[in-house]
Amino acid sequence: MASFHMITTLLFLLTIMLGASNAQLSATFYAKTCPNVSTIVSNVLQQAQGNDIWIFPKIVRLHFHDCFVHGCDASLLLNGTDGEKTATPNLSTEGYEVIDDIKTALEKACPRVVSCADVLALAAQISVSLGGGPKWQVPLGRRDSLTAHREGTGSIPTGHESLANIATLFKSVGLDSTDLVALSGVHTFGRARCAAFMDRLNNFNNITGKTDPTLNATYANTLKQRCPKGGDTKSLVDLDEQSSLTFDNKYFSNLQNRRGLLQTDQELFSTNGAETVAIVNRFASSQSQFFSSFAKAMIKMGNLNPLTGTTGEIRLDCKKVN
């Protein structure tokens, strides 16, 4: 029987799915009102990358965490103790100051035109392409939420859930297994805290001393050295041990070799009979197929319940409502 948390989460996500069908977004939305929007976003991101080599995956993660809570409406960016930023799933999110820098630059160039929700969507796409990944035309025209949705942060998938649970969450908003595997592939770059996977090393399934059997033994020993029992749970480990600063398809070969860092990553390949196994194999053998599917999945995710028309507002400061 589904847990109360799971039922509540599905209700939030079903609301998102129903709203998505009403979206009217367009890649040319700012063609006349802010024609240089993409260039401005790209310039700020490239400057930020000079100060933080990990900024690209951080920005993509912000977009994902925003969209999975009542849709892509920049509600994540609002400050306040009752907001989404301080909810448990978002305590490790970073990159907010760069989004603020992008918004400041856009306000100088095109005042009161570009929403914070669109900044997130554009910044995510440009971060992926600057990191070596695919390019795609981002549908634009989102507006910003007037409130945060802290109660909805339970809809953000964690690194500890079963494949069945996460697949259900994704399907509830119209994202299929190919979308799930493709979007998981964002873990081809970036890092994760030890806290996100330490249970796989010493306490798998709440059994003291047990290591997740789907984890390559040599890799598990390396991780135990990086994240020792009783050590700093905030220490960071590369999600892709081969090329964590580059957006490529090596993440999928890692899964084939049982070297997926997060449990939810490895289960895509190690769950017997799962339809995701064949998709992992396909993406591992063809980076172009992964890139194409990732771009399509990002467009679908970016279309989750956006505010359009006269709903919401165009925030002047992404951290607060006007």
Q: Give a yes or no: residue 21 inside a domain.
A: no
Positions at the binding site: 66, 69, 71, 73, 75, 84, 157, 187-188, 240, 248
Count how many Cα atoms sit within 13 Å of the Cα of residue 187 in the half-sphere of its side chain. Answer: 26
Query: Nearest-CA neighbor of 282 among 175, 212, 182?
Result: 182
Residues 149, 171 within the same domain: no
| pLDDT of 85 | 94
Number of domains in the chain: 2
Q: 240 is written with which tokens? A: 């892709």
Positions at the binding site for substrate: 157
> Which residues have C-beta within 8 Å of that of residue 195, sequence separation ≥ 6?
233, 234
When pLDDT is cut at 50, 70 and 90, the band that residue 82 belongs to is confident
Q: Give a yes or no: residue 243 inside a domain.
A: yes
CATH code, domain with 40: 1.10.520.10
**H or E stretch including 104?**
helix 96-109
When pLDDT is cut at 50, 70 and 90, the band that residue 285 belongs to is very high
Which of 4-18, 82-96, 100-114, 210-224 is predicted with the least confidence, judged by mean pLDDT?
4-18
Residue 173 has pLDDT above 90, yes or no: no
Q: Give the domain extent around 271.
A: 163-301
Q: Give a yes or no: residue 277 inside a domain.
A: yes
Positions at the binding site for heme b: 187
Residues 294, 169 within the same domain: yes
With H, G, I as helix, E, B as strand and everything else as coil, classify residue 308. coil
Residues 169, 149 within the same domain: no
Q: Give a yes or no: residue 308 inside a domain.
A: no
Residues 147, 169 within the same domain: no
Q: How far apart are CA 67 and CA 153, in angstroms?
A: 10
> Which residues have C-beta within 8 Å of that of residue 299, sequence separation ≥ 6?
136, 138, 139
When pLDDT is cut at 50, 70 and 90, the band that residue 104 belongs to is very high
Q: 209 is written with which tokens? A: 């001393």
Residues 296, 172 within the same domain: yes
| pLDDT of 14 | 42
> Which residues have C-beta within 8 Å of that of residue 202, sequence separation ≥ 6?
208, 209, 210, 211, 224, 229
When pLDDT is cut at 50, 70 and 90, the band that residue 19 belongs to is very low
Query: Nearest-CA neighbor of 298 among 123, 125, 116, 71?
Result: 125
Q: Give a yes or no: residue 15 inside a domain.
A: no
When pLDDT is cut at 50, 70 and 90, the band that residue 128 belongs to is very high
Q: Give a yes or no: residue 276 inside a domain.
A: yes
Residues 238, 263 within the same domain: yes
Residues 204, 288 within the same domain: yes
Residues 150, 199 within the same domain: no
| pLDDT of 242 | 86
CA angle 99, 102, 106 (to 5 degrees): 140
Q: Give a yes or no: residue 227 inside a domain.
A: yes
Which of 4-18, 101-115, 228-242, 244-258 is predicted with the least confidence, judged by mean pLDDT?
4-18
Q: What are phi and psi of 141, to 5 degrees?
A: 125, 10
| pLDDT of 51 | 96
Q: How many residues does the chain have?
A: 322
Residue 262 CB-density burial (10 A; 0-12 exposed, 13-18 middle, 19+ buried): middle
Helix 177-184 to helix 263-270 angle, to the nearest 10 degrees? 130
Residue 63 annotated to the active site:
no
Q: What are phi and psi of 173, to 5 degrees?
A: -110, 15
Q: What is the mean pLDDT of residues 195-205?
A: 90
CB 298 within 8 A of CB 183: yes
Q: Give strand ranges (E) for the chain.
A: 191-193, 236-238
Residues 198, 292 within the same domain: yes
For 29-78, how does the pLDDT look when each residue is reduced to its tens digit (9 = 90+)?
999 999 999 999 999 999 999 999 999 999 999 999 999 999 999 999 99
Catalytic residue among 63, 65, 70, 149: 65
Q: Give a yes or no: residue 221 inside a domain.
A: yes
With H, G, I as helix, E, B as strand and everything else as coil, classify residue 209. coil
CATH code, domain with 218: 1.10.420.10
With H, G, I as helix, E, B as strand and everything else as coil, classify residue 236. strand
Residues 97, 225 within the same domain: no
Residues 78, 168 within the same domain: no
Domain boundary among 138, 155, 172: 155
Residues 148, 221 within the same domain: no
